[in-house]
Amino acid sequence: MFLSFRGKAVAVSTFQGFKSQFVYSTSATPAPAHFLVKYLVDSLGFSKQEATSTSSKVTSFKTLKNPDLVLNFLIQSGLDKTQIKKIVSREPTLLFRDVSKILKPKFQCLMDLGLFGSDLANAIAKDTTIFDRGLDTHLRPTIDCLRKTLGTDENVVKAIKKTPWLLSFGAHHTIEANVLLLKNGGVSDVKLKTLVLRNPRYIIQKSDWVKDLLHRVEKDFRVPLHSPIFPYGFHTLACQRKSTLERKIGIFKSFGWSDNDLLEMFRKLPLCFTQSEVRIKKALNLYMKELGFGPTYLASHPAILVYSLEKRVVPRMQVLKVLDEKKLKRRKWSLYPVLMLTESKFIDYFVMPYKDQIPDLYEIHMKTLAPVSGHNVQIGQCFWRFLINLITMVQNVPCCLTLLEVTIKRKLDFLIKELGLKAYSLASASLLS
């Protein structure tokens, strides 16, 4: 069997072991619920309980002439049994759809865009209402609008994977209105792309919601819409209620922070305000009450507030404390640059050089990390470090955003892999420009 993709014929394997046990008639016989249950069990491997639960979602049985046509089409589209089961579990009425008029044209549209296999299955499973939308009146115009905004089909696919219901609820005229609103406000194409890829749902909201956020970012927090920090400031305000943000601001003020301190931190690293209230209180208690840092210092070094106390800050402080108690000579760095180091560099600088004087220092440090260490923790730390360095870089060198993606990659490969420079060094330099 062959389906066309971007003008090319693509061979699709058939589903082995598929067997239909459904009793149906080509003359439009009504399909009672118990027949649908039997079909799901025999043809898709549902358990009796799963099939009963799934069939209960069908409130009105239409004529089910030949469900095998739908099932065969899904197989020919490259979906496996698990993926088909997932889709049908979410929306069993899919088996009622007309293959030639509804399913095939829309599947082909999504495949032409670049959605295949698990990506295609997930997009459909999470938003089956896409089949209720018109192909030429909604689906294609929405994809075209997203393509103009994001530049490439690859970016459109990324947006759909992040927000699967983008195509069904994202009416193209709403997207166009919000894009125009952002551009008229001074948001560049690059920042607009960053904003949408971070959270695509922003451009399918009501325009009044977008206007309100633009006003708050620019007027209340004094971040110009052309600033490199704008996408992150917009996200920070969009991802939480006003009342939640006001409570967080109240916590900072209870520790003596002024409005100017808060505004400076927001303009440097707005993501500090996305931390939970509990984390903010813990961080301020440690840095201000125990270590004696003032609001001015923390506002000008905001990255310190987003590092995990348990996984990063406290373990490193304990190592420095041991070294100082032993009166061993070490690098006389303040806490901030120590926290900015990668875990491997921290061990190279502050643990391994003292393995003879303090043989168990490494074990003590790793033991402190053990309860919260692991692959996911490392990924999380890497993400935060990368994001902090990226925001710092675009603050100091805004023109780096105007470089082509390939150019940035080539320069980063040379500076990091060839010369051995670190991300935090690049963040404060102008080498990329």
What stretch of H or E contains 141? helix 140-150
Neighbours of 292 (CB within 10 A): 8
Question: Of the ranges 81-90, 226-235, 247-256, 376-385, which one carries the lowest mean pLDDT score?
Answer: 376-385
Position 63 scores a pLDDT of 55
**CB of 317 within 8 A of CB of 335?**
yes
* Average predicted confidence (pLDDT) for the chain: 81
Helix (H, G, I), strand (E, B) or coil at 358: coil
Q: Is the dihedral angle over the CA atoms 429, 384, 262, 224 positive or is it negative?
A: positive
Position 94 scores a pLDDT of 87
Contacts 24+ apart (CB under 8 A), 20-27: 20/67, 20/68, 20/71, 22/67, 22/68, 24/64, 24/65, 24/66, 24/67, 25/65, 26/65, 26/66
What stretch of H or E contains 176? helix 172-184
Q: How far apart are CA 40 and CA 48, in angstroms?
A: 9
Q: How far apart are CA 272 and CA 253, in angstroms?
A: 15
Position 34 scores a pLDDT of 79
pTM for the whole structure: 0.70
Q: Is 231 left (phi over 0), alpha (psi -120 to 50) or beta?
A: alpha
Q: What's the pLDDT tens digit per position in 145-156?
A: 999 999 999 999
Q: What's the pLDDT tens digit per position in 46-80?
A: 999 998 898 888 776 655 567 889 999 999 888 88
**Which whole-number Å values give the CA distances from 238 to 177, 207, 213, 217, 242, in the listed order?**
18, 13, 7, 10, 9
Q: What's the pLDDT tens digit per position in 111-141?
A: 999 998 888 888 888 888 888 889 999 999 9
Please, which pLDDT band fits residue 395 given cuts at 50, 70 and 90? low
